[in-house]
Chains A and B, each alone.
Chain A
């Protein structure tokens, strides 16, 4: 048994079969290096003109095809007939497809996500409970960094099915503040006070104008909505300032927040 193997190995070495192995290996390594070099150079040269998302796509779009070509060349060097692979590929695809439905679904969803362009790398998005900055959009999943610095991987399938909110799409955002006041409050006076609050904050846009309207008459008081537009970069800060300013203003004017009151009557 060992002799047979030894003889086979000797004849393989004598026939020069190892050389083709070596060549195939060299081709693969060379191909990988070229792929890395080309994709990195392309991405670097064009990085000024492309956003992070496109740069990433370009890098991958050049790296993998070159690597695949070198793999084919290496297999040919080993004497494998690639047409057999092509024939087998159909059957293999079906088999793999059944075996990896989830992955395939993620993969196809990934292509849709990239093609649709609803968000790109660097945007702030909200998907379900996850709220953060997009780090990368990959074939299987989207990676998000939340604002408490957690790394979240969201499968593409989920992204395609879920409502994705992109908070970085438009330049402006509207902060909706809800203010509750008692029934004794003069609503015209309240409106004037809220307008003063908006005027005092330079980053609250004068146009589109702030909106002030009564949302609902609740059992304990009146619920008023005060909506102010601002650019999205300052949203969190300005909203917090407005909220504090509204409270201060209303306190100064003697308008208190309502509290629940029950009247109890004793039977006569």
Chain B
């Protein structure tokens, strides 16, 4: 299950299969050759690591370096844009309710030298792009995702290429809210490993619709005892106040 961390690269190279993506790293005299192909099924949960031959087709990049060692570090990272999760079945939040739901988002893989120098970064699953905004003029480019928005974490399958965000929705407004889409600002979240469940998790989010119809998003901490695997891509702020439409619609 655990695919991140330092790995020895032997003669044939390191072959890593994480979900639908197969990655292969080998070194030449002054370069690291990184090949990858996404040929698996979207729901694939395979994790295989070890020496192996490179995939026959797919994409390739040569990272030329001063010195080539025998170890490489693989790391997970959250998406580089916000993820808009659309519940599979419409979700309604009546007045005065406070519920915690679990929403998944796609992961990226980073290939680093042991000293932290990055060689390559690629998405483990290429998520479809989407637009989040009131019109085609105003808004933000995001990644789209479908979510079952499970209240019970154990209902969600453990996947090596997705992270789970716990989102607490609070409705203090005067009317019920239909949650058609949830925007997760994942570039501002930390990624960690929840040892207890063996899942990759992000910092929790709290989305509150206030009495004045304004929505507030707060970043809460990682689950207790979680090991931090990746820092946020962007500087996170404690809370953002947005118009209601900017968070859920």
Interface residues of A (CB under 8 A from B): 170-172, 199, 202-208, 229-231
Contact = CB atoms under 8 A, between A and B. Distances in A.
B131 A208 contact: yes
A199 B144 CA distance: 11
A202 B127 CA distance: 6
Given A206-B144, A207-B144, A231 B129 contact: yes
Interface string B36-52: 00000000000000000
Nearest to B137: A170
Contacts of A205: 128-131, 144
A172 B133 CA distance: 12
Contacts of B137: 170
A231 B128 contact: no
A207 B129 CA distance: 8
A231 B139 CA distance: 12
A172 B126 contact: no
A206 B130 contact: yes
B131 A207 contact: yes
A58 B85 CA distance: 45
Given A172-B136, A230-B129, 9 more contacts: A172-B131, A199-B128, A202-B127, A203-B129, A206-B128, A206-B130, A207-B132, A208-B131, A208-B136
A242 to B, nearest CB: 13
A202 B84 CA distance: 14
Given A208-B136, A229-B136, A171 B129 contact: no
B137 to A, nearest CB: 5
Choose among A203, A204, A205, A230 the residue with the greatest number of B CB atoms under 10 Å from its CB: A205
Interface of B: 84, 126-132, 136-137, 139, 141, 144
Q: Taking each of B127, B131, B137, B139, which has the highest tally of chain A beta carbons within 10 Å of its own beta carbon?
A: B131
A265 to B, nearest CB: 52
Contacts of A203: 128-129
Contacts of B127: 202
Nearest to B140: A171
B239 to A, nearest CB: 26
Contacts of B128: 199, 202-206
B129 A170 contact: no
Give the one of B129, B136, B137 with max A CB within 10 A: B129
20 contacts: A170-B137, A171-B141, A172-B131, A172-B136, A199-B128, A202-B126, A202-B127, A202-B128, A202-B129, A203-B128, A203-B129, A204-B129, A205-B130, A206-B128, A206-B130, A207-B132, A207-B144, A229-B136, A230-B129, A231-B141
Contacts of B132: 207
Contacts of B131: 172, 205, 207-208, 229
Nearest to B181: A207
